[in-house]
Structure 1
Amino acid sequence: MLVFGPVRVIHCVAMITRVDTYLHSVPLSGAVAEQVGPFTLFRSTITWPYYARPVPGSEATITADDIELVRARCAELEIPLSFEWVVETCPSLGAAAAAAGLSVVEHPLLVLERDDFRPATADARLEILPTEDDVIRQARAAVNLAFGEGGTAVGTAGPAERDANAPAVADGLVATLRDRMLQGVSVAAGAFIDDGIVASGNHQPVDSTTEIVGVGTLPSMRRRGLGAAVTSTLVEHAFDHGVDLVLLSAESPAVAAVYERIGFHQIGHAGAAE
């Protein structure tokens, strides 16, 4: 069992609060906020849907009735019902969501500060991606294949499948990703082998905090350190552009271990329900 001193505990609580505040503000680059009971419902104005979150600092005890308020509003708006939250700041939400019939998961929530950063490299060309449609489309195809074969084991999909799937990436999605990159609300990085993207990811800065999202490696290219190297490239960009705290949620403890090698450490859990 880990035992922390009072200073470390205070620092951890303050960091969780800061992370929760960031996660409540980052959807505003692509959504309109609406209060529904103890939640903020983020109504998407872009290609992908958002979710509802408990209001930071409210310390509300969430009930199944609160979930039903959001369910009714989502039905009225004809948008998907989903929730995201930091478990440690709203521990009642998971049980309430489950009682309301939703599927609930928790993921490791990790953070990284500059002094803890241990840069990673890989046998690939690593760079911040330009705002070019063909590059964005190829990166998205690679990440789609990565999440289609989850986990960390070496899989089957590789460059040929990436190239075959790239034309199916919707023009509207490419335009949205490009616009967000141009606005500076999203920064993309990629790992290139033979001039093709084999791993990619993004970070989403708001003031001095950012989140690493959507990091994926072509399944056939796993176990080469590419995901860690892409993450490292994004972290370096963030620290060079005014960020002093980077966060991410990992799919599993095994995936979290990849990020821990470059200095991330777990401070809590990210909850999701739908």
Structure 2
Amino acid sequence: MITRVDSYLHSVPLSGAVAEQLGPFTLFRSTTVWPYYARPVPGSGATIAPDDIERVRARCAELEIPLSFEWVVETCPSLGPAAISAGLTVVEHPLLVLERKDFRPAVADARCEILPADDNEVRRARAVVGLAFSEPGTGVGSAGPAERDAAATEVPDDVAAALRDRMLRGVSVGAAAYTADGIVASGNHQPVDTVSEIVGVGTLPSMRRRGLAAAVTSTLVEHALDHGVEVVMLSAQSEAVAAVYKRVGFRQIGHAGAAE
């Protein structure tokens, strides 16, 4: 399973990037409005050294793009120590998967549905996620519908257009939870063949502790399973956030590493 997830994670950036081989790494050079990263080639068994990190650093400097890495810790355990030796900041997050037999649908006091590729809805959903990640954790925060609407007007036009384009091409599927106040939680899944990753699930901080993130995740999982996906995966921000996903049926299989 972890090998299958690693292979998926190496293919999913290709919907918005071109691949360039640099030693034991594939550098994904973005063709859209947000940057990507370098990943160790799945199955190579390479032991990463600080010199390998420096080769990618030099190429990123040449291309004037950010230096960052993502990987599955269990399939490339040498990358974290090499990145630290090269002066990068390394974090690890719980890596979870769900199969159909384990799916436990979650509901909340909100209407959850697949997000249309509508400019206003996409902007509001993006604003919700931005506010959620600016107040990390699971505790109730301050930002609410008013802050969402203000933030939605500040979403850059090119970002909104890129998000809509991905939805229209089917490489990203959005879902949102609606109350009388509009969108209060949202997220996406990104299918490639029979695997999909859930990304960017966030709840307005003032609306937390109501089961909205679990309900949005459940809507995304149901959509994925209904459209040919066999394995749904995600990396959780923390163990506390992972507990939310485990209620839907996810189980932890390892750790997702990131360095920048």
TM over 0.5: yes
In structure 2, stretches of 5+ residues that fail to align are none
Paired residues in the alignment total 260
In structure 1, how many angstroms separate the alpha carbons of the residues matched to 2:159 and 2:182?
A: 20
How far apart, in 2, do the equivalents of 1:96 and 1:232 lie? 37
Contact 2:113 2:219 in 1 (8 A): yes
- Aligned mates of 1:215, 1:52 — CA distance in 2: 23
In the alignment, the residues of structure 1 paired with residue 60 and residue 151 of structure 2 have an alpha-carbon distance, to the nearest angstrom, of 32
- Counterpart of 1:98 (choices 84, 90, 94) is 84
Question: What one-letter code is carried by the residue in structure 2 that aligns with 1:249?
Answer: S
1:160 aligns with 2:146: yes
| Normalised TM-score (structure 2) | 1.00
How far the C-alpha of 1:164 sits from its partner, in A, is 1.2
For 2:129, the equivalent position in structure 1 comes to 143
Kept in 1: contact 2:145–2:181 (CA 8 A): no
Once the two structures are TM-superposed, the CA of residue 125 in structure 1 deviates from its matched residue by: 0.7
The correspondence for 1:87, drawn from 73, 77, 80, is 73
Asked if 1:218 corresponds to 2:204, the answer is yes
Instruction: Within 5 Å, give how 1:106-121 maps onto structure 2.
Output: 106-121=92-107
Q: Distance in 2 between matches of 1:196 and 1:47?
A: 27
- 1:240 is matched with 226
* CA deviation after TM superposition for structure 1 residue 90, in Å: 0.1
Matched, 1:50 2:36: yes
The amino acid that maps onto 1:91 is P
User: TM-score normalized by structure 1?
Assistant: 0.94
Q: Which amino acid letter does the alignment assign opposite residue 74 of structure 2?
A: E
Alpha-carbon separation, structure 1, partners of 2:133 and 2:140? 13
- Alignment partner, residue 270 of structure 1: 256
State the SS of the aligned residue for 1:270: strand
Cα distance in 2 for partners of 1:200, 1:26 equals 20
- Residues 1:77 and 2:63 are matched in the alignment: yes
Give 1:58's aligned amino acid. Answer: S
How far apart, CA to CA, are the structure 2 residues paired with 1:34 and 1:92?
Answer: 21
Q: Deviations over 1:100-150 (max 9, x none)?
A: 000000000000000000000000010001010000001001110000000
**Identical-pair percentage:** 79
Q: Deviations over 1:44-92 (max 9, x none)?
A: 0001000000000000000000000000000000000000000000000
- Secondary structure in 1 aligned to 2:142? coil
- C-alpha deviation, 1:255, in angstroms: 0.3
Q: C-alpha separation between the residues in 1 aligned to 2:27 and 2:150?
A: 37
Gaps of 5+ in 1: 1-14
Q: Alpha-carbon deviations, 1:192-239, whole Å to 9, x = none?
A: 011510000000000000000000000000000000000000000000
Runs ≥4 in structure 1, deviation > 2 angstroms? none
Structure 1 residue 181 corresponds to structure 2 residue 167: yes
State whether residues 2 and 254 of structure 2, in contact with CA within 8 Å, keep that contact through their aligned partners in structure 1. Answer: yes
1:39 equivalent in structure 2:
25
For residue 261 of structure 1, report the CA deviation from its aligned partner.
0.4
Question: Superposition RMSD on alpha carbons, in Å?
Answer: 0.5
Amino acid at match of 1:254: A
In 2: Cα distance, 1:166 partner to 1:131 partner = 15
The match for 1:259 is: 245
2:153, 2:140 → 1: CA distance?
24
Q: Distance in 1 between matches of 2:112 and 2:83?
A: 41
Q: One-letter code of the match for 1:257?
A: A
Amino acid at match of 1:253: E
Measured in 1, the distance between the counterparts of 2:50 and 2:151 equals 41
Q: Which residue of 2 aligns with 1:68?
A: 54
Aligned to 1:16: 2
Cα displacement (A) at 1:96: 0.1
Whole-angstrom distance in 2 between the partners of 1:24 and 1:232: 25
**After superposition, what is the alpha-carbon deviation per residue over 1:140-173, rounded to whole angstroms, capped at 9, x for unaligned?**
0111000000000000000011011110001100
